[in-house]
Amino acid sequence: MSEHNAKVYRKQGGEELVISSGGKLTLENGWQLNGAGLSSLVSSGLGASATYDETTSGAKTLMAASTSARVVLGIVVVDEAFDDVDDGTQPKFKIGETSSDAKFLPDTTLTDATLGKVFVFGGTLTANKALIVTGTPATKDGKGKISVTAIVLPASI
């Protein structure tokens, strides 16, 4: 899986969210990663948001399974820099679905990620499978913490 950069913005005169490739994730015209637009979608059941730190172990359900396929757009924000610290190891996180735990983001993506770095992932969440974040905890004094927000919409209308 390759890392994709995206630019997120609201079109002038409208409320349309546009994602285009070719640059860093940039917030313009009032869009915020955890702002009112995304949080209202999450609170209405069309998404989920959670924080994972260096103690996270195993698969954690971010969004429950549904009987139909759904489209996922996710944003990962590094809340604490990833660092091995004094012979420890930093945590690892991968994002996927039930029985395919790295479908959207492999566990190598966040290695040595710096504070504030933003990653975007997307794809189709298979019917009857949950969106999961799987953590391998840090050892000793290893550090790393992320926030994940995912918008999950029906794949067909």
Q: Dump pLDDT digits (tens) for 64-100.
A: 999 999 999 999 999 999 999 988 999 999 999 999 9
CATH code where residue 92 lies? 2.60.120
Q: Is residue 120 one of the residues assigned to a domain?
A: yes
The parent domain of residue 96 ranges over 47-154
pTM of the predicted protein model: 0.76
Q: Dump pLDDT digits (tens) for 88-142.
A: 999 999 999 999 999 999 999 999 999 999 999 999 999 999 999 999 999 999 9
Q: Is residue 37 one of the residues assigned to a domain?
A: no
As a whole number of angstroms, the distance between CA 76 and CA 79 comes to 9
Q: What are the strands, taking DSSP E only, across the chain?
A: 6-10, 17-21, 47-52, 58-63, 70-83, 92-97, 100-105, 118-125, 131-136, 143-154
Q: Is residue 11 one of the residues assigned to a domain?
A: no
Q: Is residue 102 one of the residues assigned to a domain?
A: yes
